[in-house]
Chains A and B, each alone.
Chain A
Amino acid sequence: MELKDKLISSYVAFENGVNINSDVHEIRSKALQNFEDLGFPTKKLEAWKYTSLNSVLKEDYSIFPKAEKAIELADVKEYFIDDIDTFKIVFIDGKYSSFLSDTTHDNMDVCLLSSALTKPKYKAVIENYFNKIAKQDNLTSLNTAFANEGAYIYIPKNVEVEKPIQIVNFTTGAENATMLQPRNLIVAERNSHVQIIERHQSLTDNAALTNAVTEIFVDTHANVDYYKIQNDNINASLVDNTYVEQQKEGICSVHTFSFGGNITRNNLNFYQKGEYIDSILKGITIIEGKQHVDHHTLVHHIEPNCESHQDYKGIYGDRSTGVFNGKVVVEKEAQKTNAYQQNNNVLISDKATINAKPQLEIFADDVKCSHGCTIGQLDDQALFYMQQRGIPKKEANALLMYAFANTVLESVKIPEVKKRITNIIADKLGVDIGFDL
């Protein structure tokens, strides 16, 4: 059976596990109808021209993972940022793992969406925010149809969360192929501050497909920093749909580190709903083999006096392929917008490909919008220079790539995350070098 049919026919079984007499379920059912009409995206769609899911959709995925399979902390410790104290919301094959998690209801809610969707005390928040900014497109609709579990983070006004929150989704590989659809809802009320680190991790080479949706609401003068670490196994594919709505003077940064997996598609959307907002979108992509990473970003400037900063760096080896499609829309009312977009790519193999497409739609006349896109190779002169100074070729290459990506790393505010990313980069480049730039 095709995956689409399988998903649709599984819906009745899914309904057995959720409250079907709720507003949320009405949203789900509409979304299912929407997915049924639209189906999976194909290369015929402009937004999917360079990314084909065909090979991924052929797998016979298990849609309802079995009950939580126990994993030992020692086996997965490496996937956590464990050198600092953090809150943790951990899922194993889509099921919450209380053993690995560290949640809280003390002055804020760092917990599960499944309970937020059902318990009366969260009703108002769910009504106000759930599925309010997620698009009605095919894959987001699919996620919405099955939305039940994921992270729920609610930070009341004036609360500065003192430690980062980690959201980790493990796939155990207990099934030959597993499909997961985590759904996260994050609300940062007026003047609050929170840092979030997200990771999807397969524990075996069995196929995994994750279709995630995250909605982030950043209220007036609130600050949200979000870090996505994508360094998964070779048969794990990810479609990440993230939607951010910001109110007046809100600041939100999303850093996406794409280092591995089979096919990775990031749909990152920012909507600015007030003045003096700052949106920061940054990414480093380092891939090889036949890996594919696609960044589709959208920043929608709706109100005046706002800024957006995009900086995406990509390093592509072997036969890997990359896509960067950065869309910036500046509405007529959004005067004095300052929108900056930078996308630099290095192809270290003749067979690697990057498709880069900056897309600017500007309807206001008093704005500063800049974009720069480069595709190049590592500089042979620089390599020789470094070798002449005693740095072996491999290390010199690594240092050049690291320096290339460093403008993105610079803005990472959690030192341990920076260190972790640096180590992953060094590991990927096969060097043991004291990067400390």
Chain B
Amino acid sequence: MLKIENLHAQIEDKSILKGLNLEVKAGEIHAIMGPNGAGKSTLASVIAGKEEYEVTSGLIELNGEDINELAPEERAHAGVFLSFQYPVEIPGVTVTNFVKTSINESRKAQGLEDMPAKEMLQKIREKSELLEIDRKFLSRSLNEGFSGGEKKRNEIFQMAMLEPKLAILDETDSGLDIDALRIVANGVNKLKSKDNAVIVITHYQRLLNYITPDFVHVLHDGKIVKTGDASLALELEAKGYDWIKEEVNS
């Protein structure tokens, strides 16, 4: 599904990703862990196509297609979804209408008609129940005045509505209490299938108690320096990141 080879990326001449390799196949869950400043969020932004980041060399392929020149919305239409670490507040646009616009713009890009209103409502009802979202919440302005937990739950709600092929969850666990964490993880697990893939970016192992990764990667100084299975996350939780740094430096 996703293939990244020798990826170098920079922002304002500061090089952040320095030869990153990653392959994610359909049906897999990958966790990317690492200390602050390792480049985790940059990786998420670069995959999603944020313009401030410049890819200086390397390859990003989605289902065999080079997506490096695609605009963020084209990547979204191709099935990339990024759950933001800090979802943006958009006053004046309700959650429901934002999601509607989002879905219909994606359909338009695929040459489809707008989703019929009835179908849309049905889907909104179903997915909001899955994420235990109060219906009133959907008529509020997007993320405006939402608590940290509400914002994250709203991100996963949008993911559920859009049904992406590749979902990247950037620090989705930060700001969540244990109940919200369980609801969000449950949502992600329910949406998971053999046809899609998830990349979980996290600093802590906590979320991985609920979403079990097939692979755990450690990102350090712009490169993946270690890959293991779920047990690697536990080891990192227990021992921190310093031993990895030492291992890399030696």
Contacts and interface: CB of A to CB of B under 8 A. Distances in A.
Main secondary structure of the interface of A (DSSP, over half): helix
Given A387-B73, A388-B72, A433 B101 contact: yes
**Size class of the contact patch on chain B:** 35 or more
A389 B93 CA distance: 14
Contact of B90 (A388, A400, A433): A400
Contacts of B106: 390
B105 A385 contact: no
Contact of A392 (B49, B71, B84, B97): B71
B102 interface: yes
Interface in A367-414: 379, 381-382, 384-393, 395-396, 399-400, 402-404, 406-407
B9 interface: no
B159 to A, nearest CB: 10
B178 interface: no
B186 interface: no
Given A391-B73, A391-B105, A399-B101, A385 B92 contact: no
Contacts of B162: 389-390
A17 interface: no
Contacts of A387: 49, 71-73, 76
A271 to B, nearest CB: 33
Interface string A134-161: 0000000000000000000000000000
B224 interface: no
Contact of A389 (B50, B76, B89): B76
A205 B69 CA distance: 42
Contacts of A384: 48, 50-51, 72
Contacts of B81: 388
A400 B77 CA distance: 20
Interface in B138-195: 158, 162
B101 to A, nearest CB: 6
Contact of B94 (A393, A400, A437): A437
Interface in B60-79: 71-73, 75-77
A120 interface: no
Contacts of A381: 88
A390 B114 contact: no
Contact of A393 (B73, B92, B97, B109): B73
A382, A385, A400, A402 — most chain B CB neighbours (10 Å): A385
Contact of A390 (B77, B87, B88, B97): B77
B7 interface: no
A350 interface: no
Given A390-B109, A403-B93, A385 B102 contact: no
A402 B94 CA distance: 12
Contacts of A391: 73, 101-102, 105
A228 B190 CA distance: 52
A437 B88 contact: no
Contacts of A404: 92
Nearest to B87: A385
Contacts of A402: 92
A72 to B, nearest CB: 35
B124 interface: no
A390 B105 contact: yes
B21 interface: no
Contact of A434 (B77, B93, B104, B109): B104
Contacts of B89: 382
A387 B75 CA distance: 9
A75 interface: no
B137 interface: no
Contact of B93 (A379, A392, A407, A437): A437
Contacts of A386: 90, 98, 102
B149 to A, nearest CB: 18
Contacts of B218: none
A5 interface: no
Contacts of A433: 101
A2 interface: no
Contacts of A361: none
Contact of B92 (A388, A390, A406, A434): A406
A61 to B, nearest CB: 42
A392 B73 contact: yes
A106 interface: no
A381 B45 CA distance: 12
A405 B85 CA distance: 28
A386 to B, nearest CB: 7
A437 B49 CA distance: 28
A436 interface: yes
A390 B90 contact: no
A384 B89 CA distance: 12
B91 interface: yes
A382 B89 CA distance: 7
A400 B109 CA distance: 20
8 contacts: A386-B98, A388-B76, A388-B82, A390-B105, A390-B109, A393-B71, A404-B92, A437-B93
Interface of B: 48-51, 71-73, 75-77, 80-82, 84, 87-94, 97-98, 100-106, 109, 114, 158, 162
Interface of A: 379, 381-382, 384-393, 395-396, 399-400, 402-404, 406-407, 433-434, 436-437
Given A387-B72, A434-B101, 16 more contacts: A384-B51, A387-B71, A388-B49, A388-B73, A388-B75, A388-B81, A388-B84, A389-B76, A389-B98, A390-B73, A390-B103, A391-B101, A393-B73, A403-B91, A403-B92, A437-B93
